[in-house]
Amino acid sequence: MSLGPVMLDLEGVDITPVEHEILSHPLVGGIILFSRNFASVEQLENLVQRLHEVRSPRLLIAVDHEGGRVQRFRDGFTALPAAAHFGQVYEQDVHLARHLAELAGWLMAVELRAVGIDFSFAPVLDVDHGVSEVIGDRAFHRDPAVVTDLARAYIKGMHDAGMAATGKHFPGHGCVEADSHTAIPVDEREYNDIYAHDILPFKRLVHHGLAAVMPAHVIYSKVDKLPAGFSSYWLKEILRQRLNFQGVIFSDDLDMEGASVVGESYTDRAKAALNAGCDMVLVCNNRKGALEVLDGLEGYEDPVAHLRLARMHGRHNITRQQLHHLRKWKETITALEKYQDDPSLKFDF
């Protein structure tokens, strides 16, 4: 059985018999976890183990665990800084900022790998234009060159821990005020402005360890009438051909308001995203919609997407006991805690 093109979610802290049956469907390829799926580190570890046992090859297990506002697991995990804090340090000390970003990427990834999670949808590569509240401090900086520099260090840390990186939200969500979770954002800039500015981090990181990309549910009205995640122009012509990206393309959640522009039917949304170039679609917080997609995509198969998705499985297996004995783990937590208390501190690394 191959990895299917659909990523779903769970309702609670364990797998119900109904969910077990759904996850066995050949079109399912992954699970995304949320805070509601977390009660303790031990519970999470057991849940992930049960998910691994559902089928072979095992399902991809993902989470949004960026740090700052977006960190699904708290108790038993290190509280991670928001990306913007590294940008603030960068303005004072470039070397320190890079080093802290790399440490944070490693720490985020290794703590998730220690409970068996394959990857976090990170890092955010959006450029902070100062208008998007939903992005805000999730972005490293307002300068795309700084975003690129810090993200490269963060990705290196992730790779060292055995985790593939997913850059989001292509080609850039930072210049629209509306939140695509609850609205349909429209970016009215010209293509050349977007390409020269917001796409820069994606362009430069494609050949520096960026394994996956998640497009934005944003309409770039002077380029295409469809949101980027449903646009073959953005995904095939720009991302695949012009940028020569060969990794995985994940849709953003099809339940978001930003996806409604392609229709009320979840099957229509899924087909539109896959036809545009996505390898895997996310259907979250809507069980009825998820089942509709599984029925509507019957017979769908993409061997190339399966090969890409298989590369997202985590590497460098490590137990929590092994992790907690690592000197690097203890020193990294100490360094990041000191930095968060006083960003002006200088560290002698």
Active site residues: 181, 252
Q: Which amino acid is at 241?
A: Q
Q: Give the C-alpha distances (Å, rounded to integers) separating 113 from 159, 170, 284, 313.
A: 11, 26, 23, 10
Total residues belonging to the chain: 349
Rounded distance between C-alpha atoms, residue 206 and residue 212, angstroms: 9
| Closest by CA position to 130, among listed 189, 84, 93 | 84
Backbone torsion region of residue 316, taken as left when φ is above 0, otherwise alpha when ψ lies between -120 and 50, otherwise beta: left
Q: Are strands 60-63 and 28-33 parallel, antiparallel or unpaired?
A: parallel
| Closest by CA position to 51, among listed 62, 43, 59 | 59
Helix 327-341 vs helix 83-90: angle between axes, to the nearest 10 degrees? 70
On whether the CB atoms of residues 213 and 247 are closer than 8 A, the answer is: yes
Cβ count near 241 (within 10 Å): 10
Query: What is the H or E stretch that residue 197 is in?
Result: none
| Closest by CA position to 98, among listed 137, 41, 148, 139 | 148
What are the residues whose beta carbons fall under 8 Å from the beta carbon of 281, sequence distance 6 or more? Answer: 5, 6, 7, 250, 251, 254, 269, 270, 273, 274, 293
